[in-house]
Structures are given as C-alpha cells and as structure tokens.
Amino acid sequence: MAHRNVELLAVGAGPANLALAVAVEELAPELAGDTLLIEREQDIVWQRGMLLPDALSQVSFLKDLVTMRNPCSRFSFVNFLHAQERLDAFVNLASWVPYRSEISDYLQWVADELAQVRVEYGRECAGVEAVTSADGEITGWVVTLANGDTIGCRYLVIGAGRDAHVPAVFEGLPAERVIHSTQYTQRIAQVRADLPHRVAVVGGAQSAAELFGAALRDLPECKPTMIMRSIGLNGYESSKFTNELYYSSFIDEFYEASPDARKQLLDEMYRSNYGGLSPATLDALYRQFYQDRRTGQDRLAMHAMTDVSAARTDGEEIVLTLTDRKSGAEREMRTDLVLLGTGFVRSMPWAVKALAESIGLERVDVSRNYRLDLGRPASAACYLQGVNEATHGIADSLLSVLAGRSAEITQDILAHRLGLPVTVPAQERELAFA
C-alpha cells in the first residue's frame, strides 16, 4: 500500500471534474501541476450504461466543458471536432445537439489533452477521512482507494455522480433479472437475444423510453411493456423562456430565493429535465406503437397510472403486482426481465454521506461556491459537484452550468489558499443531509 500527497484531488473524471481540470489549467496554472483526477474505470465514457448508438445529447454543443466561460479555449467541443477533422461534417449536419457517443469521445479527448492536470484510471475511491490537528481543525483529507493505496490532499472535490435509484420493491429480485439504465449496455449483452423475453420497462421519462427502444433492438424477439405512474408519456417543457432558468446567471437568483420559491421552481421545472421525453424520442416511440397496432402484432404494451406495488419470483418468472392508480385494482403481470428507467436518488450519494458522518455533520450545507460547510475551523476545503440541486437549481447535475461552476470553484480555492474572503451572496442556504 502506497501513500502520496497532492494539493487538489478530484474524485471522478466525469464532465464536472473534467471541466474543473480545464478551469484549473487555464485559471490557476500554479495549482494545475499538483492536481489529480481519479477515475474508477479504465477510460472515460459518458453515461456508460446508456451510450446507445443513436442517442442524442439534450443540450447544445456550445454547453461543453468550457465555451460558456472561455469561447477561445482550446478545450472546446468545436476544437475537438476540428482536431478530429469532422468540423465541416458536423456543421453540415445542422444540429445543435451532438450524439451522446460524440460527447463521450469529446470528454476522453479533453482528458488526453490536459497538459498539467493528471488523470489516473482504475482508481476507485473506497473511503474518505478528514485529517485533523490536535485542536480539531481540519487540515486535509485522505482518500483510500479500493486497492488500499491512499492519497492525501488539502482540497477535495467530489464529482462522482449520484446513486442509481432502484425502488425498494425490486431489491429482492435476482440481480441478473433487473437492469437499471446505468448498467444497460454492459448487462444486456449477457441476456440471450434469441428468446421471446417478456420485458417490463419501468418509468415514464427519457431513460425509460430509450430502454424500451433499446430492448426492441437488442432483444429482437422480446415483447416489451412500459409501466409508469404518470398519465402517459409527455414531451420536455422546452420553451425558450423556461430554458433561461438553465443559465449559469440564474443560479444566484435560485440560491437567494425563499424555500417556497425554490420548491415551486423545482416542481415546475421537473418536466423540463426529469419528467419528459425529447420530441424525436416521443415521435419515434408513438410511431412504433402505431405500427404495432396497425399490423395487429400486439407486441408492444403500455400501462399508465400504474404502480408496481410488489415483485417476487415464481420459478423462472418474475411476478409483478400492478396497482391501477385510478381504481386501486390489483393484478399480476408475469415477465422475464425488468428494465428500470427510474433515474437517480435525489439525496446525497454515499460518498458524501460517509464523509459527513465521519466528521460529525448532521446535515450537508454548501456555500454559493459549492464549498462544504465543515462545521469547524479548517485550513482544508471540500467541494461538491452535481448534487446541489436543492440550493443551486435543477441545472446543477447537467452540462449546462459546468463551465461557470468550474471557474467559481477554482476561484474559491485560490482565494482560500491565500486566506482571502470570497464574495458570495449574503444569505447562504442549506442543503438537507438525507
């Protein structure tokens, strides 16, 4: 087991921490050479489990890791296309949104292009502990890796993403029969494609619809059924007025808003991100159902306003108890495979919870600049990326604000190193620890 120290350690090499790495190289070269990103996988793949061949990103290519902060940066998506000799072709495509696989390739390219910040692969974080002085001041952090090695740092950034949401009703089922969207591409390859599988797809938004289409492609003999609590599938709320709430400049307004206003904003913006489908996906799916009905195949099914209230195994079958939300009536549905398009846990991921518990925090509070309130004197600092929706708005887990947020964290670290005050809105809001 080996130990080493760096000044800044970022856990996870996804879009959030790659944007931070770029910001550090461009804004804080004195810090860049002592900055390390660790990634548990052997490469960088965006949304690995749902990297489907034809899946599109839902945001403009200009909302890359850097353009909204520094349009002249060599790390822009446009420069990536130029480096790949594909800029003419992309322009000719006349699309604002790239393929998801193309964004994934861009992220790996950025990691490879970093000149000073290091990225190390196959480094899985197994735990984080605070380093404290005799008087209880937090002076740094020690990250333990899965292989037992340790890395010490003064500044820690956690950007490893949120935990997959697997509803409790499915937890007792055999693991090989239940696939969450975050694991789809890896695990569907283990399922025999030549059997007439009955497939239950749970969820009513983009990821569930993509799973439904993927099952038809990857299991050509299957009979898929969508099950959702909502009244049916709906498109994203995507008016230009609503999209202004995804500006980086709106974060200040959200952060300073009252709790009631924040709740209203999050509730009303739900369909602009979590609760809808892209127009292209919605249209393609409806056409599939139309053709299925027109030809009399009756292969595709959809149950809206339906809860999965219980699940069990019966021999080789999975038996789901479906409850009609309109009448309360229950019935059983027998299936062979369950695909979960159920999103992510909205509370803090395990890494943040474990860190908070280790230093005695009963709740997680973050500043406007994403710095964790440690509840005691500290010459070290910890920052949270992508998990601050309750205080920073619905865009916090998306690509839209990465460029601006990375600059804010970088500037906060620089000020903290110099012992300078950081200008933030006067009223700092709290993010409940759950």
H or E stretch covering 152: strand 150-158
Taken in order 76, 78, 82, 86, is the CA torsion positive or negative? positive
pLDDT at 421: 57
What the block records as the tokens of 206 is 């983009």
> In this predicted model, what pLDDT tens digit does every residue of 361-403 receive, in sequence order?
989 999 999 999 999 999 999 999 999 999 999 999 899 999 9
pLDDT at 162: 86
pLDDT at 404: 96
Give the residue-averaged pLDDT of 103-120: 98
| 346 pLDDT tier (thresholds 50, 70, 90) | confident
242, HSE (Cβ side, Cα atoms, 13 Å): 14
Q: What is the C-alpha separation between 89 and 81, in angstroms, rounded?
A: 9
237 has pLDDT over 90: no
**Residue 364 bridge partners (DSSP):** 431
Choose among 426, 433, 432, 424: nearest CA to 371. Answer: 424
User: Could you tell me if 193 and 221 are in contact, meaning their C-beta atoms sit under 8 angstroms apart?
Assistant: yes
66 has pLDDT over 60: yes
Give the residue-averaged pLDDT of 298-314: 96
pLDDT at 408: 97
Average model confidence (pLDDT) for the chain?
A: 92
pLDDT at 432: 31
Q: What is the C-alpha separation between 373 and 199, in angstroms, rounded?
A: 45
CA dihedral 342, 346, 352, 354 (to 10 degrees): -70
Q: What is the C-alpha separation between 102 and 93, in angstroms, rounded?
A: 13
What the block records as the tokens of 116 is 């000073």
User: Could you tell me if 3 and 140 are in contact, meaning their C-beta atoms sit under 8 angstroms apart?
Assistant: no
Domains and CATH numbers, the chain: 3-162+345-431 (3.50.50.60), 168-236+275-340 (3.50.50.60)
Q: In the β-sheet with 301-303, what is the strand arrangement from edge to edge?
A: 178-180, 337-340, 198-202, 223-227, 301-303
Q: What is the C-alpha separation between 351 and 180, in angstroms, rounded?
A: 20
**Residue 302 bridge partners (DSSP):** 226
431 has pLDDT over 90: no
> In this predicted model, what pLDDT tens digit does every residue of 119-164 receive, in sequence order?
999 999 999 999 999 999 999 999 999 999 999 999 999 998 888 9
User: How many of the other CB atoms lie within 10 Å of CB of 127?
Assistant: 14
Give 212-272 as a DSSP string. HHHHHHHSTT-EEEEE-SSSS--B----HHHHGGGSTTHHHHHHHS-HHHHHHHHHHTHHH
Q: Which residue has the tokens 């993509």?
A: 210
Q: Which residue has the tokens 């061949």?
A: 53
Task: Tell whether pTM > 0.85.
Answer: yes
pLDDT at 419: 84
- 77 phi/psi in degrees, rounded to 5: -65, -35
**Residue 431 bridge partners (DSSP):** 364
195 has pLDDT over 80: yes
425 has pLDDT over 60: no
User: How many of the other CB atoms lie within 10 Å of CB of 158?
Assistant: 26
pLDDT at 433: 29
Q: What is the C-alpha separation between 300 and 35, in angstroms, rounded?
A: 51
pLDDT at 430: 34
pLDDT at 184: 95
pLDDT at 420: 66
Give the residue-averaged pLDDT of 225-234: 95
Pairing of strands 150-158, 138-145: antiparallel
417, HSE (Cβ side, Cα atoms, 13 Å): 14
Q: What is the C-alpha separation between 51 and 63, in angstroms, rounded?
A: 19
Q: What is the C-alpha separation between 187 and 49, in angstroms, rounded?
A: 9
Choose among 116, 157, 120: nearest CA to 33. Answer: 116
> In this predicted model, what pLDDT tens digit does every residue of 315-344 receive, in sequence order?
999 999 999 999 999 999 999 999 999 999
Give the residue-averaged pLDDT of 65-84: 97
